[in-house]
Amino acid sequence: MKPESQSARARAVSRRIAAARPLATTAMHERVDLLKSRGESVIDFSIAISHFPAPAVVREAVRAALDEPLLPYTAVGGAPGLRSRLAAKLRAENGIAAEARHVIATNGAKQALYQALYVMTDPGDTVIVMRPHWPAYVATAQLLGLHTVLVDQPDVLDAAFLHALPQAAVLIVNNPHNPTGKVYTAAELECIRAWLRARSTACIVDESYEKLIFEGAHHSLAACPDWEEVGIATIYSASQSYAMMGWRAGFACAPARWVKAMEALQGPITAAVPALTQVAADAAFAIGAVPELLADYRARRDLVVDLFAPVPWIALPAPASGPYLWGDVTALTLDTVAFAETLIEEYGVAIMPGEALGCPGFIRIGYIADDEATLRRGVAAIIALGDRLAAGGPSR
Ligand code: PLP
């Protein structure tokens, strides 16, 4: 190799990563943090950061662990006791016939997603993602060199919808769903199971919002006797269900062959999840739902839905679950990136444009941060910008 090309190579990033970009969601949140660090006042609806602290039992458990003489490396997949207790949670709450060997503790659901998709596919395989979608599904598939097929998520999923899907290695399902709040019914999940069996397609189900349900009941796709043969990996997170975004506490439940492979992948990258995070995960996933958090979110959800109800250019239904509101502003604009830019630049309010979730003409509002007065001010700013555009005012 010539010296020039050697130095060009040393300066370049690899072809594998060159096209990758930071997640739109985390990028917007980081932008807000930067503005705030410069002393600017910004209301952040771009992602869902809870105004609740982590549950008291979690903080107490971690405090107690700090007094232990050792915080050892654990097995890569997590301490045996933690894995057994998470498996017991899955059996009791989710109806999944899981044992410790089916569980791997991860740094949040994102790592569980990456590792599951990594061990379930090879580059070039097809993965089906329903839109609107959490941006990490598409970004992770891109990192792994997969072919992503985006399809519109139906209001009610049935056999006809599934029949029309192409052959794929993996289908990704998000239940309950970010950002629409859709909670899949038992009948819909049965349709998916039948389709997976018929097509020999595997599935990753993201149940990270399982405890944030306002209407309906959560059912797990893997709650069937043959979940291992069908090939269902389910991922969980304490981030949203327990207001523990920064704790990075998540796990996956997958057929034992995949868990072993995920451990082989995780070992050289992070080894085990930090011991304190494992203590926190142990305490959090034992709680079940947190009623006061749910009641607070429900009241905020209803408040924001009421504030938008008289506004003619937006359709914003009350979601059945989750920390987001998903507003259809196609009557106003399809360029919701520009809408979001004007909103943050001129009004100091950050939202996620639908483009980041595969749906231009929609906006996502994370409504669980800060206090009620701030929530009201942020909503008033969105309405003020929309009214200005609806009246024919300048977009910038
Ligand atoms: N899955 C979805 C669909 C999400 O929106 C989020 C966001 O909080 C998560 C999972 C949580 O990911 P993590 O556990 O990496 O914080």
Per-residue pLDDT of 323-346, as tens digits, reads: 999 999 999 999 999 999 999 999
Task: Label residues 13-41 b or e (16+ Cβ within 10 Å = b).
Answer: eeeeeeeeeebbbeebbeebeebeeeeee
Q: 10 pLDDT band (50/70/90 cuts)?
A: confident
Q: Report CA(241)–ligand 1 centroid distance (Å).
A: 10
Domain boundary among 243, 264, 285: 285
Considering only CA atoms, which residue is closest to atom 1 of ligand 1?
208
Length of the chain equals: 396
pLDDT in the model for residue 194: 98
Atom of ligand 1 nearest to the CA of 245: 16
Q: 34 pLDDT band (50/70/90 cuts)?
A: very high
Q: Report CA(305)–ligand 1 centroid distance (Å).
A: 23
Q: What's the mean pLDDT in 152-169?
A: 98
CATH number, domain at 7?
3.90.1150.10
For residue 130, report the phi and psi dihedrals to the nearest 5 degrees.
-90, 135
Residue 339 token pair: 């809408």
pLDDT in the model for residue 396: 56
Would residue 64 count as lying in a domain?
no
Number of domains in the chain: 2
pLDDT in the model for residue 2: 54
Q: Report CA(387)–ligand 1 centroid distance (Å).
A: 32
Q: Which domain holds residue 256?
A: 69-285
The reply to whether 93 and 215 lie within a common domain is yes
Distances (CA, A) of 288 to 48, 53, 89, 210, 216: 20, 16, 9, 10, 16
Helices (H), 90-185: 108-120, 135-143, 159-163
Q: 6 pLDDT band (50/70/90 cuts)?
A: low
pLDDT in the model for residue 26: 81
Average pLDDT, the chain: 95
pLDDT in the model for residue 393: 67
Using DSSP's 3-state secondary structure scheme, residue 364 falls into strand
Q: Degrees (nearest 5) of the Cα angle 33, 25, 173? A: 150
Please say whether the beta carbons of 244 and 280 come within 8 A. yes
The reply to whether 269 and 206 lie within a common domain is yes
Per-residue pLDDT of 225-244, as tens digits, reads: 999 999 999 999 999 999 99
The reply to whether 107 and 227 lie within a common domain is yes
The reply to whether 133 and 217 lie within a common domain is yes
Is pLDDT of 96 > 80? yes
Mutate-to-test residue for ligand 1 from 208, 244, 251, highest number of ligand atoms within 8 A of CB: 208
Is pLDDT of 106 > 90? yes
The reply to whether 327 and 255 lie within a common domain is no
Would residue 63 count as lying in a domain?
no
Strand order in the sheet with 352-353: 324-328, 362-366, 352-353
Would residue 61 count as lying in a domain?
no
Per-residue pLDDT of 250-306, as tens digits, reads: 999 999 999 999 999 999 999 999 999 999 999 999 999 999 999 999 999 999 999
Q: What's the mean pLDDT in 94-116?
A: 98
The number of beta carbons lying within 10 Å of the beta carbon of residue 6 is: 10
List residues near ligand 1 (CB under 6 A): 108-110, 134, 174, 178, 206, 208, 237, 239-240, 245, 250
Number of H helices, E strands in the chain: 16, 12
The reply to whether 313 and 172 lie within a common domain is no
Mutate-to-test residue for ligand 1 from 23, 52, 134, 273, highest number of ligand atoms within 8 A of CB: 134
Q: Report CA(95)–ligand 1 centroid distance (Å).
A: 22
Q: Report CA(368)–ligand 1 centroid distance (Å).
A: 15
The fraction of the chain above a pLDDT of 70, given in percent, is 97
Is pLDDT of 3 > 90? no
Q: 130 pLDDT band (50/70/90 cuts)?
A: very high
Listed residue (374, 386, 392) closest to 49, CA to CA: 374
The reply to whether 87 and 39 lie within a common domain is no
Per-residue pLDDT of 177-190, as tens digits, reads: 999 999 999 999 99
pLDDT in the model for residue 25: 82
Q: Report CA(263)–ligand 1 centroid distance (Å).
A: 20
Task: Label residues 105-128 b or e (16+ Cβ within 10 Å = b).
Answer: bbbbbbbbbbbbbbbbbeeebbbb
Q: Which helix (H) or strand (E) holds 174?
A: strand 170-174
